[in-house]
């Protein structure tokens, strides 16, 4: 067994001059990394158990703790880095697929960070958002291509059902099961207060949260868990999940031990059974099949709700989106390869899919070229990290963005990427009662509201700088972007000029 | 008046309230310096058993049995806050006998101690509330 | 609730806890009416139980004051100290004083307290330095006489006798304590508890002759009923107190051992109330009417009387016997009635005994570890049904944990505490 021994990745550094043995670190660590030795009268830590989630660091009242990356190292090798060697040891020992959580951490280019935003100078005035009205409201859904009038010349109300948002951000699909009830409640309450939407994910909707239905997008995925008439009726929109950016082409698997109590009831499956979402929808093998499901859901909800089709950003995303835009869907959601997950095979997460910036640019262009851009709204997700990313995504052609990870970070997530262990110390990605209660939705929802309020202010600042007073006017306005350090091909796909041009 | 209220639903049994309480009464600026090698005697105490936990401190009753029972006059109600004059208190523990919440406790110095809503501390507002990481302990006015 | 009843004249006979309770209650309802306090001692209101602490040096005359110096002024009380009421004319509503004056009243509170009982032992008159131990003057006089190595004989091993013993043991006096009972603190402790306390006191140098009584005194000596002779310099008589009921008894009020009052602290005579150690009231832990001479009850009865005197209907019906006492570092808290089944924890130094029957806690004794004792007290006082909580748990650990989640939410979530007010 000694061969398998891996020196811990992180070391817990305790300043014994500051530690007062209050034991909060010990009480708060679900990984049991800290222990009080009564006979010695001191706290000790086991680095091997630490996942670097910072719960102890955050709560330590005397700032006696920090977590550092171990400087223990393999012999330097630009090709065989430590992570790859470790993974081989793990697999050699277990014979299993490696699991990971949250988004792709690999060093792929982040195109958002290689684009810069324009601002007005002299010839066109910038706008001060503190003095002048600035509109961030958007509507999602199909837009009629022309105005129709009746015999008397009056405008015919032919607008399909829309979602109205106070700002172009929604909380992306995270199921009850992958995240806790309190996380769900926080997001639901935040969405309601902000006038935006959150998404149930494929776990059904807890009965207590139906009251937030008018700010809820209910998801229908390949497992069809928790889907019933009241569920569909309760939401403001219905999302068909075809794929997920973190694991394109892969289904989902919530282990039976997590299917307990409310989760079992909400998903409508017996306690203890594994919840397996198949990789494909077994009734969808073509755009025509998809169209059937889209219209089944519309029919079921009397054409009162927009239907969203969510796909992962993959190689032929533009062509796929073109098909979806013709399927009757009102909104296309595209999830880039950096999108988060509660658990995914590491190789899939890190190596399958394409960056959302490129997917968005090519989808928007394709739909425009085909004259069907107004058939659908486009929502993009997959690592929107700041208001600048929102502005850039809108300028590239998105109507709206989905955020998942950013919202969870607002709730306390420290991106330790151990969601799959179910022992989230922040009460988010866990169903353990003692851990779930660590996320008080009264606090959580306010933090999410704060984050969105801050982003909205920043979006207005950036819009004002560009001389734009309505976010709708920014959509697809790629002249507002310039690339920095991008090659010709990248600029071509993004449809932007290089800085200086 | 504003009081400290505890909602056990959100109590994590982290016991930080006890440490912030103990720290508040030291008048020190740094908790490590104040509480290093000290066995704390907080005025707020967490009860904990089988997954249930909650902190208990003086309720500042409108009809305080401790004040009525106090044989020295050391316990008084000042603007709704029940205060202890530790110079007068002779440690007879009649208040401990009377308090239905178990919120008065003995000290090493003879006099009893109890929560005074941090009125006498440098912070001036209840530090258990400030230190609670989960909004379990709040300091607010509620209808009576 | 408040009703302004101005121009009433309140007279309070007595100047201790019950009187203060009454003044504070009256002033809540009536800021104008005259309040006259008649006190036979010469002092500002002080806490009688503190006299042993004074003797011990743990407090001083200033800190013994039960209320601050401005208490009378702030509450607009006219105080006649060093004055004793000698007669109540209930017909004419007049109180006659020993200095020949008299006070008319609209509402009268009799809070005359109790006096030490002097046992009729032959030869007592021959003892030069003999004291009782209930007033500040007693403590001062005793303090003058007790020095290092003074031999003190204390007759009575109850609360007063032992607090006295504790106080003077600090002066390195030689103390012998005699009691007719075979146990110390027999009124508040059971056998095992008494034994623990006796051992504790003996290890601190106090000697006991229990189950004996003095059959004769001489100058500097006492002869016990087993013919043991004890030589002493100072004698303290602490065999008990008697309620001071004669004023009201002579006025025609109903009395027993104490003055009989109802739950509004009314005597049988209209507009005359009584409170404190001079009264008998209902002990709800036993259902019996008895004298419960203890300060918290005195205050609360005084408060109740004051409320009713000033026109607010108010009932005090949760009286129970209870005591908190420390003896040379060992603390005892007890309350209620010792009947029913028992729960016992004992390690020879810490002791806990709970008494319960018919789904109610009747009483308890705690020695040593007394933390959170009030939770047991409240179970007795509130007559809480024991099946409404986790009794097994609360026996081991007094705390709110044993109550239901709803009860806790009420207690900690801020619903008004309605413990005494009916």
Residue range C328-354, pLDDT digits in tens: 999 999 999 999 999 999 998 899 999
Chain B interface includes C60 (CB < 8 A): no
User: Hey, are the CB atoms on C59 and B90 less than 8 Å from each other?
Assistant: yes
Which of C239, C263, C294 corresponds to the end of one domain?
C239
My answer on whether C406 and C336 are in the same domain is yes
C151: three-class secondary structure by DSSP: strand
Q: Note the pTM of the prediction, 2 decimals.
A: 0.91
Looking at the fold, whether C134 and C96 belong to one and the same domain comes out as no
B99, B130: one domain: no
The answer to whether the Cβ–Cβ distance between A22 and B9 falls below 8 Å is: no
Q: How confident is the model at residue A258 (pLDDT cuts 50, 70, 90)?
A: confident
- Which stretch of DSSP H or E encloses residue A350? helix A346-351
Same domain assignment for residues B65 and B53? no
What's the angle, vertex CA A246, arms to CA A240 and CA A250, rounded to 5?
A: 65
Per-residue pLDDT, averaged over C163-179, amounts to 92
In terms of domains, do B45 and B4 share one? Answer: yes
Parallel, antiparallel, or unpaired for β B105-106 and B112-113? Answer: antiparallel
E strands present in C14-147:
34-38, 77-80, 85-89, 94-97, 102-104, 107-110, 114-116, 130-131
**Is C163 in the same domain as C181?**
yes
**Of A447, A463, A460, residue with least CA distance to A409:** A447
CATH code where residue B100 lies? 3.30.70.20
Would the CB atoms of A22 and B16 count as touching at under 8 Å?
yes
B30 with B71, same domain: the answer is no
| Residue C62 is assigned to a structural domain of this protein | yes
- Provide mean pLDDT across the span C304-325: 95
Q: For residues C344 and C60, is the Cβ–Cβ distance under 8 A?
A: no
Predicted local confidence at residue A2, as pLDDT: 62
Are B105 and B127 part of one and the same domain? no
The single-letter DSSP state of residue C49 is G
Q: What beta strand segments (E) does A129-207 contain?
A: 138-140, 163-165, 169-171, 198-199
The verdict on ipTM greater than 0.90 is yes
Q: Does residue C383 sit at the B interface (CB-CB below 8 Å)? A: no
Domain of residue C287, CATH code: 3.50.50.60
Q: Which one, of C400, C397, C331, C418, lies nearest residue B97 by Cα? A: C331
Q: Under an 8 A CB cutoff, do C374 and B68 touch?
A: no
Top residue of B72, B82, B110 to mutate, by most chain C CBs within 10 Å, is: B72
Which chains are adjacent to chain B, needing at least 3 Cβ pairs under 8 Å?
A: A, C
Q: Which chains are within 8 Å of C by 3+ CB pairs? A: B
In three state form, how does the secondary structure of chain B look? CEEEEECHHHCCCCCHHHHHHHHHCCCCCCHHHHHCCCCCCCCCEEEEECCEEEEECCCCCCCCHHHHHCCCCCEEEECCEEEECCCCCCCCCHHHHHCCCCCCEECCCCCEECCCCCCCCCCCCCHHHHHCCCCCEEEEECCC
Phi, psi of C372 (to 5 degrees): 60, 25
The token pair at A59 is 């709560």
CB-based contact (8 Å) between C51 and chain B? no
* Distance of residue A410 Cα from the nearest chain B Cα, in angstroms: 14
- Domain extent listing, chain A: 2-96, 138-142+164-498
Strand C9-13 vs strand C34-38: parallel, antiparallel, or unpaired? Answer: parallel
Q: Distances from the Cα of C115 to the Cαs of A215, C213, C281, in angstroms?
A: 77, 21, 18
pLDDT average, residue stretch A348-370:
97
Chains that touch A (3 or more CB pairs under 8 A): B
Q: Do B92 and C49 touch (CB under 8 A)?
A: yes
Cross-sheet strand order for the sheet of A216-220 = A169-171, A400-403, A377-381, A331-335, A307-312, A237-241, A216-220, A198-199
Q: Which residues does residue C260 pair with via DSSP β-bridges, in sequence order?
A: C280
- Domain containing residue B18: 1-57+121-144
Where is A486: in which H helix or E strand? none
CA distance C17 to C21: 6
Q: How many inter-chain contacts (B to C, CB under 8 Å) are there?
A: 143
pLDDT digits (tens, 9 = 90+) for A52-99: 999 999 999 999 999 999 999 999 999 999 999 999 999 999 999 999
Q: What CA–CA distance (Å, rounded) separates C386 from C338?
A: 17
Average pLDDT of every residue of chain A = 95
User: How many domains does chain C contain in total?
Assistant: 3
**DSSP three-state, residue A24:** helix
Average pLDDT over residues B8-24: 96
Mean pLDDT of C233-242: 94
Q: Cα distance from A406 to chain B (closest Cα, Å)?
A: 20
H/E element, A444? helix A441-466
| CA–CA separation, A423 and A432 (whole Å) | 7
CA distances from C405 to C390, C409, C410 (A): 11, 6, 9
State both tokens at C217: 């005194």
Residue C240 is encoded by which pair of tokens? 């008990």
pLDDT at C419: 38
| C110 shares its domain with C253 | yes
3+ Cβ–Cβ pairs closer than 8 Å linking A and C: no
Question: What DSSP designation does C176 have?
Answer: E
Residue with tokens 């109600």: B77
- Same topology between domain A2-96 and domain A138-142+164-498: no
Query: Which pLDDT score, from 0 to 100, does residue C414 have?
Result: 52
Same structural domain for residues B128 and B144?
yes
Question: Is the domain defined by A138-142+164-498 classed in CATH 3.20.20.70?
Answer: yes
Residue A1: band (very low, low, confident or very high) from pLDDT cuts 50, 70, 90 = low
Which residue segment(s) compose the domain that C16 sits in? 9-115+242-309
What does the pLDDT read at residue C417?
Answer: 41
Confidence of residue A467 (pLDDT cuts 50, 70, 90): very high
Identify the bridge partners of residue C95 per DSSP, sorted by sequence position.
C88, C103
Q: Which residue has the tokens 């209808």?
A: B143
B125 Cβ contact list (under 8 Å, min separation 6): B117, B118, B139
| Residue C421 counted as domain residue | no
Tens digit of each residue's pLDDT (9 = 90 or more) over B68-124: 999 999 999 999 999 999 999 999 999 999 999 999 999 988 899 999 999 998 888
A41: nearest CA partner in chain B: B37
Residue C418 has pLDDT above 50, yes or no: no
**What CATH number does the domain located at A2-96 have?**
3.30.70.20
For chain B, positions 112-141, list CB contacts with chain A under 8 A: 131, 133-136
pLDDT, tens digit, 9 for 90 and up, residues C10-63: 999 999 999 999 999 999 999 999 999 999 999 999 999 999 999 999 999 999
Task: Mark whether C258 and C345 lie in a shared domain.
Answer: no
């Amino acid at each position: 067994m000694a061969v398998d021994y891996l020196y811990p990745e992180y070391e817990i550094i305790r300043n014994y001059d500051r530690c007062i043995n209050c034991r909060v670190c010990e009480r708060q660590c679900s990984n049991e990394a800290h222990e009080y030795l009564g006979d010695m009268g001191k706290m000790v830590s086991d680095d091997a158990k630490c996942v670097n989630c910072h719960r102890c660091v955050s709560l330590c009242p005397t700032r006696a703790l920090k977590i550092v990356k171990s400087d223990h190292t393999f012999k330097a090798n630009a090709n065989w880095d430590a992570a790859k060697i470790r993974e081989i040891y793990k697999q050699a020992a277990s014979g299993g697929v490696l699991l990971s959580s949250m988004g792709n951490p690999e060093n792929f280019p982040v195109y958002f960070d290689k684009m810069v935003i324009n601002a007005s100078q002299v010839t066109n005035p910038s706008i001060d958002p503190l003095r002048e009205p600035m509109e961030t409201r958007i509507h999602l859904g199909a837009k009629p291509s022309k105005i129709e009038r009746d015999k008397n010349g009056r405008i015919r109300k032919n607008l399909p059902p829309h979602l109205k948002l106070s700002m172009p951000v929604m909380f992306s699909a995270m199921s009850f099961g992958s995240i806790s009830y309190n996380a769900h409640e926080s997001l639901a309450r935040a969405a309601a207060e902000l006038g935006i939407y959150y998404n149930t994910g494929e776990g059904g909707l807890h009965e207590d949260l139906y009251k937030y239905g008018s700010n809820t997008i209910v998801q229908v995925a390949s497992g069809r868990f928790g889907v019933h008439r009241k569920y569909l009726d309760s939401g403001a929109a219905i999302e068909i999940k075809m794929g997920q950016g973190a694991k394109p082409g892969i289904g989902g698997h919530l282990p039976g031990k997590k299917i307990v109590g409310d989760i079992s009831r909400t998903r409508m499956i017996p306690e203890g059974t594994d919840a397996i979402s198949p990789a494909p929808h077994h009734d969808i093998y073509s755009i025509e099949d998809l169209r059937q499901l889209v219209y089944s859901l519309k029919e079921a909800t009397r054409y009162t709700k927009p239907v969203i089709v969510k796909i992962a950003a993959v190689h032929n995303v533009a062509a796929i989106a073109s098909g979806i835009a013709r399927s009757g869907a009102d909104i296309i959601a595209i999830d880039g390869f950096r999108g988060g997950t509660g658990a995914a095979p590491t190789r899939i997460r890190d190596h399958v899919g394409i960056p959302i910036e490129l997917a968005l640019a090519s989808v928007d262009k394709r739909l425009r070229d085909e004259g069907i851009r107004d058939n659908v709204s486009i929502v993009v997700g997959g690592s929107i990290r700041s208001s600048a990313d929102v502005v850039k995504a809108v300028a590239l052609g998105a109507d709206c963005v989905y955020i998942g990870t950013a919202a969870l970070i607002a709730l306390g997530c420290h991106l330790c990427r151990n969601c799959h262990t179910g022992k989230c110390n922040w009460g988010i990605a866990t169903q353990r009662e003692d851990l779930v209660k660590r996320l008080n939705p009264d606090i959580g929802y306010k933090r999410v509201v704060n984050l969105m309020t801050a982003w909205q202010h920043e979006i207005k600042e950036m819009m004002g700088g560009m001389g734009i007073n309505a976010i709708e006017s920014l959509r697809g306005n790629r002249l507002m972007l310039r690339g920095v350090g991008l090659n010709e091909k990248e600029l071509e796909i993004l449809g932007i000029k290089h800085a200086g041009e | 008046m504003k009081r400290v209220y505890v909602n056990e639903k959100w109590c994590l049994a982290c016991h930080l309230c006890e440490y912030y309480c103990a720290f508040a009464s030291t008048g020190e600026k740094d908790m490590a310096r104040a509480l290093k090698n000290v066995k704390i005697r907080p005025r707020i105490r967490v009860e904990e058993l089988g997954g249930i936990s909650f902190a208990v401190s003086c309720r500042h009753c409108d009809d305080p049995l401790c004040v009525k029972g106090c044989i020295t006059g050391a316990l008084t109600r000042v603007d709704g806050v029940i205060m202890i004059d530790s110079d007068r208190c002779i440690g007879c523990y009649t208040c401990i006998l009377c308090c239905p919440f178990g919120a008065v406790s003995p000290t090493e110095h003879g006099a009893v101690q109890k929560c005074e809503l941090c009125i006498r501390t440098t912070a001036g507002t209840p530090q258990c509330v400030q230190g609670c990481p989960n909004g379990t302990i709040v300091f607010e006015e509620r209808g009576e | 609730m408040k009703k302004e009843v101005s121009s009433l004249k309140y007279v309070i006979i007595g100047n201790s806890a019950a009187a203060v309770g009454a003044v504070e209650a009256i002033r809540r309802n009536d800021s104008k009416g005259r309040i006259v306090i008649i006190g036979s001692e010469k002092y500002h209101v002080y806490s009688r139980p503190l006299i042993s602490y004074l003797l011990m040096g743990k407090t001083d005359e200033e800190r013994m004051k039960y209320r601050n110096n401005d208490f009378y002024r702030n509450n607009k009380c006219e105080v006649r100290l060093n004055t004793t009421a000698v007669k109540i004319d209930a017909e004419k509503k007049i109180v006659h004083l020993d200095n020949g004056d008299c006070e008319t009243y609209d509402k009268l509170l009799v809070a005359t307290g109790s006096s030490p009982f002097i046992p009729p032992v032959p030869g007592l008159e021959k003892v030069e330095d003999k004291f009782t131990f209930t007033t500040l003057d007693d403590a001062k006089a005793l303090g003058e006489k007790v020095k290092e190595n003074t031999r003190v004989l204390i007759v009575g091993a109850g609360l007063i006798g032992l607090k006295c013993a504790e106080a003077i043991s600090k002066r390195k006096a030689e103390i012998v304590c005699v009691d007719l009972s075979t146990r110390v603190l027999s009124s508040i402790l059971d056998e095992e508890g008494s034994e623990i306390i006796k051992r504790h006191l003996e290890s601190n140098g106090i000697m006991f002759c229990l189950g004996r009584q003095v059959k004769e005194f001489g100058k500097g000596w006492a002869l016990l009923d087993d013919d043991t002779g004890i030589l002493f310099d100072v004698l303290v008589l602490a065999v008990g107190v008697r309620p001071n009921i004669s004023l009201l008894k002579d006025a025609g009020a109903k009395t027993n051992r104490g003055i009989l009052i109802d739950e509004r602290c009314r005597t049988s005579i209209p507009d005359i109330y009584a409170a404190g150690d001079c009264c008998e009231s209902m002990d709800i832990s036993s259902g019996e009417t008895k004298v419960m001479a203890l300060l918290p009850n005195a205050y609360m009865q005084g408060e109740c009387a004051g409320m009713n005197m000033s026109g607010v209907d108010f009932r005090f019906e949760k009286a129970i016997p209870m005591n908190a006492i420390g003896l040379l570092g060992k603390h005892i808290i007890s309350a209620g009635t010792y009947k029913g089944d028992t729960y016992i924890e004992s390690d020879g130094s810490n002791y806990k005994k709970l008494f319960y029957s018919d789904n109610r806690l009747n009483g308890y004794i705690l020695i040593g570890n007394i933390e959170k004792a009030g939770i047991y007290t409240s179970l007795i006082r509130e007559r809480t049904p024991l099946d409404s909580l986790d009794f097994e748990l609360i026996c081991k650990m007094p705390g709110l944990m044993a109550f239901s989640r709803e009860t806790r939410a009420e207690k900690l979530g801020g619903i008004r505490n309605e413990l005494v007010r009916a």
